[in-house]
Structure 1
């Protein structure tokens, strides 16, 4: 049974769940983390690109130098047509000038390794693997999380950081339905209009580190993200019709899909088939899109892909999950810091409501931006073809406007951990709207 002290149960030990572990530890809030697999550091998925607003929070954890050592700065975007001709180029240098750092690309498993290994031994002891959650029970005093191995964990709240196919989200919905709540999400809240093949491969001659290479065309597009030693390929294609059913693809499906797009160019001289034959790993998935109406119910709250899902073209998924964690733990720290007694259910649900309100506007902006870019890359029709190929490239200073106005507004407004006085790690031309206080210097 719960001992009455405030305790968080994190479900999910991926990048967002491990970020929550860091944030709660730094806030002095007790927690446990339950991961269904046998390790938090596994080599699944492809790459993750971190934008300045995410790197800023990770710098508050003291992780910046470790991250720089395993990442590659993205410097340039090059855009081509199906015949290999370049029609557009974007330099990313304004990002660093405006915010003090650019976007950095990581192998997903390397980022997970940094997040996990940088936790102290006491925090690692709070992480429990092989814990498949089978039920969540809420009551007036707290929560119970039951696992397939017959173990039960007791706490004050549950944070669902268990991704796009979140079990926590499903249990939250079931509980809301049983309580006849008006805060009930759809059973399948996300829709897929595109799918993508991903593959990792060594950086070959002719592929410049720091380049994002894209090939745009009707119904399908190519994206290659070039790291220092490794690159990541994404082949996007529009589905015949939208679906909210979960899809599973075999190795034969992946190979057939690759062969259909093998001749598409990555550079003037390199095609998809030239890099794919060197692949380390590959997989394919449908790309879910959507934003939940309700991110919490009672003592359960969702973060990251569990409550909003973007297409991956702009690399905004983990970045927004991290920002969710920052905004949520700011609220939780405010609850426990001002009162030694456990917060009431009204105080908890109020904190959850404020968290969603803080994040909703910016989530919608990034969701729309990701959706537009996916469709401007793999055109579903004439409108997006004209917009991508002719309208946007022909507008004078349009890239400058996007980087220096639209993007800078989103980056500078993102949350930081307000309870940590670490000082600003990055300073550029654009001031941060949620400044990080510097440590107080004691008089000698």
Structure 2
């Protein structure tokens, strides 16, 4: 596929598929590390209306600071200052205000976040739009990615950052099973499940709900999550499905389904002043989607590796997905750069297949503990908030209201304080928070043991 002389003539090259949070973070990191790459985005534009909001905890904010786009994002969104948790009647049962890591919680529209990541790229030359992947060919010399328009891109590795419905992941599975049958078992292919659907969208701000607030309203089998900024209200309604569905056999929804779900809950209060229907009827955008969750066993095979939602997908109730995708991109960039650096401090050309396997495995080993931690905590909170069964209802209504701000902050700190940072970029000086960052494995393992029991609760 690649003549030896031709391959030696060019530098190491990564082919990144997907220009979302993981893909753009990786492009930023690779550019700063001096690693050649191309980013393939199937849509006509990188930034387009999709989803509702993106929330970013200090683990992601620290990386944004290193990339140089934190200041512009902070100018875009107002500070989130207060969090309410309410019973079905809309009355407050928990009020939490917490800031512990030197960075505040960030909330903005998803497309604004993508635009900020795009704008802070040193150069946009690696970005190629209208570039949908058709197939991937792998050899001892490298990879060739074939696109739907008939063109192709050559490189050394393919990095799948193409989301929960990853085309790259499917191709990786096919290649792995062709080489060694049943490497990827049917059970693993169904690791991704959906026990909840979600009514999601945004509306203009309105009187009756304060800006910079997060409101969670518990209900039997569903929950409201309302997030506000000066100009917008972001809403999520998590609704328990009648059964747990496994990938790829997930339900599909029509516009009629969306309106029917909204009508069922329109009269229910989200606080003392507003019902959900009042927010819904003013919506700028709305959709009914599945909430997938799961962590795949295999994140890489041969010359293909997966990042972000393609490898690990969380429920979004506590906003760990975006930051985790950024952490995976930063971790991979750190390990790749370290392995490519030769003794002279210069980037070497082309790792062997064995060396690439070492890089990919090191990336997974460094990330899997924190990924499982965030996956379990996210799924646990989804079920607590939606009162998935009597145990979760008891925890939500009887136990959690007695937890202090310090206890709540401590739980979140366990998931945040072990965050990675980019090795090739100096960390900018920011105010220190009350809790120090911990990057040693022992501290991370302690938090995993403490939260490991949550796995027993994360059931439909």
Deviation at 1:182, TM superposition (A): 6.4
- Describe the SS at the equivalent of 1:3: helix
Aligned residues: 426
**2:64 and 2:70 in contact (8 A); partners too:** yes
Q: Which of 97, 101, 104 is matched with 1:102 structurally?
A: 104
More moved, 215-224 vs 241-250:
241-250
Deviation at 1:183, TM superposition (A): 4.3
More moved, 69-78 vs 367-376:
69-78
Q: Distance in 1 between matches of 2:349 and 2:136?
A: 24
Q: TM-score, normalised by structure 2?
A: 0.90
Provide the residue aligned with 1:391 in structure 2: 399
**1:289 and 1:311 in contact (8 A); partners too:** yes
Give CA deviations for 1:59-94 in whole Å, capped at 9, x if unaligned. Answer: 1111121111112322211111222222221112xx
- Describe the SS at the equivalent of 1:154: strand
Query: Structure 2, unaligned stretches of length 5 or more?
Result: 441-460
Provide the residue aligned with 2:327 in structure 1: 323
Provide the residue aligned with 1:241 in structure 2: 243
Q: Distance in 1 between matches of 2:428 and 2:12?
A: 28
- Describe the SS at the equivalent of 1:24: helix
Q: Distance in 2 between matches of 1:87 and 1:48?
A: 25
Q: Quick check: 1:252 aligned with 2:260?
A: no
Q: Distance in 2 between matches of 1:425 and 1:91?
A: 20
Deviation at 1:181, TM superposition (A): 6.1
Deviation at 1:342, TM superposition (A): 1.5
Q: Quick check: 1:420 aligned with 2:422?
A: no
Call closer, same or farther: CA 1:358–1:44 in 2, change over 3 Å: same
Provide the residue aligned with 2:78 in structure 1: 72
**1:7 and 1:29 in contact (8 A); partners too:** yes
Provide the residue aligned with 1:442 in structure 2: none
- Describe the SS at the equivalent of 1:379: coil
- Describe the SS at the equivalent of 2:189: coil
Provide the residue aligned with 2:138 in structure 1: 138
Give CA deviations for 1:323-381 in whole Å, capped at 9, x if unaligned. Answer: 00011000010122225231111111111111111111111111111111111111121
Within a 5 Å distance, the mapping from 1:73-92 to structure 2 comes to 73-92=79-98
Provide the residue aligned with 2:65 in structure 1: 59
More moved, 165-174 vs 182-191:
182-191
Give CA deviations for 1:164-219 in whole Å, capped at 9, x if unaligned. Answer: 00000000000000010664253333011000001200111121111101110110
Give CA deviations for 1:29-72 in whole Å, capped at 9, x if unaligned. Answer: 00001011101011111100011110111111111211111123
Give CA deviations for 1:415-442 in whole Å, capped at 9, x if unaligned. Answer: 000121244434222222349xxxxxxx
Q: Distance in 1 between matches of 2:92 and 2:415?
A: 29
Provide the residue aligned with 2:291 in structure 1: 287
Provide the residue aligned with 1:206 in structure 2: 208
Q: Distance in 2 between matches of 1:361 and 1:426?
A: 28
Q: Distance in 2 between matches of 1:414 and 1:256?
A: 41
Q: Distance in 1 between matches of 2:276 and 2:313?
A: 27
Give CA deviations for 1:267-299 in whole Å, capped at 9, x if unaligned. Answer: 112000111111000001111111000111111
- Describe the SS at the equivalent of 2:55: strand
More moved, 143-152 vs 185-194:
185-194
- Describe the SS at the equivalent of 1:402: helix
Q: Quick check: 1:302 aligned with 2:310?
A: no
Deviation at 1:160, TM superposition (A): 0.4
Call closer, same or farther: CA 1:415–1:260 in 2, change over 3 Å: same
Provide the residue aligned with 2:55 in structure 1: 49
Q: Distance in 1 between matches of 2:220 and 2:44?
A: 42
Within a 5 Å distance, the mapping from 1:124-203 to structure 2 comes to 124-180=124-180, 183-184=183-184, 186-203=188-205
Provide the residue aligned with 1:408 in structure 2: 413
**1:197 and 1:235 in contact (8 A); partners too:** yes
Q: Distance in 1 between matches of 2:63 and 2:182?
A: 35
Within a 5 Å distance, the mapping from 1:10-21 to structure 2 comes to 10-21=16-27
Q: Distance in 1 between matches of 2:116 and 2:439?
A: 26
Q: Which of 361, 380, 401 is matched with 1:372 structurally?
A: 380
**1:183 and 1:294 in contact (8 A); partners too:** no
Q: Distance in 1 between matches of 2:428 and 2:396?
A: 40
- Describe the SS at the equivalent of 1:218: coil
- Describe the SS at the equivalent of 2:7: coil
Deviation at 1:410, TM superposition (A): 2.5
Give CA deviations for 1:133-187 in whole Å, capped at 9, x if unaligned. Answer: 0101111111111011011100011110000000000000000000106642533
